[in-house]
Amino acid sequence: MWQETENSLYRKFSFADFSEAFAFMTRVALLAEQMNHHPRWTNVWNTVEVWLNTHDAGDIITEKDRKLAAKIDTLLN
């Protein structure tokens, strides 16, 4: 579930291993590139943390962030 924190949408994802986490990041990267809207994220072994906000709107949450979050969620189904 996405959380609103510090002017960002935030979500932590856990996977079976590094390979699954990295594959997820690759799929997210392709979506982000299509939308020209790129996340801030970290990856440590099987965990991916994602923060979304819109830099050119003053680092706040916008509809672009909500749309990308929804598209990221579809990758988990």
Strand order in the sheet with 3-5: 3-5, 8-14, 47-52, 40-44
Instruction: Report the distance separating Cα 68 and Cα 31, nearest Å.
Output: 8
Cross-strand bridge partners of residue 42: 49
SS3 of 25, please? Answer: helix
Domains of the chain: 3-74 (3.30.1360.20)
Whole-prediction pTM? 0.93
> Locate tokens 């960002």: which residue?
8
At 58, the pLDDT band (50, 70, 90 cuts) reads confident
Whole-number average pLDDT of the chain: 96
**pLDDT tens across 3-13, in order?**
999 999 999 99
